């Protein structure tokens, strides 16, 4: 699950699939699934990422 959060962060930063694959060892299928969740899902994943970013900034 942690890998998917890292993939999601990188997708939100507009990183390309090849770079994400190299840095996270995620498959293109995983990256594609996460991308669909971000773009077509309920929006909850994006909210969680924002909360995580806010928490990191305050620490």
Q: What's the chain's Rg over C-alpha atoms? A: 11
Whole-prediction pTM: 0.81
To the nearest 10 degrees (0 to 180), the angle between helices 17-24 and 2-12 is 150
The domain ranges of the chain are: 2-58
pLDDT at residue 32 in the model: 96
pLDDT tens digits, 1-59 = 789 999 999 999 999 999 999 999 999 999 999 999 988 988 888 888 888 888 878 87
30 contacts 3 by C-beta, under 8 angstroms: yes
CA 17 to chain centre: 11
């Amino acid at each position: 699950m942690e890998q998917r959060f890292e993939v999601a962060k990188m997708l939100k930063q507009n990183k390309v699939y090849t770079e994400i694959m190299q840095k996270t060892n995620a498959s293109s299928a995983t990256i594609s699934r996460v991308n669909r969740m971000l773009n077509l899902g309920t929006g909850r994943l994006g909210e969680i990422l924002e909360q995580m970013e806010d928490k990191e900034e305050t620490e």
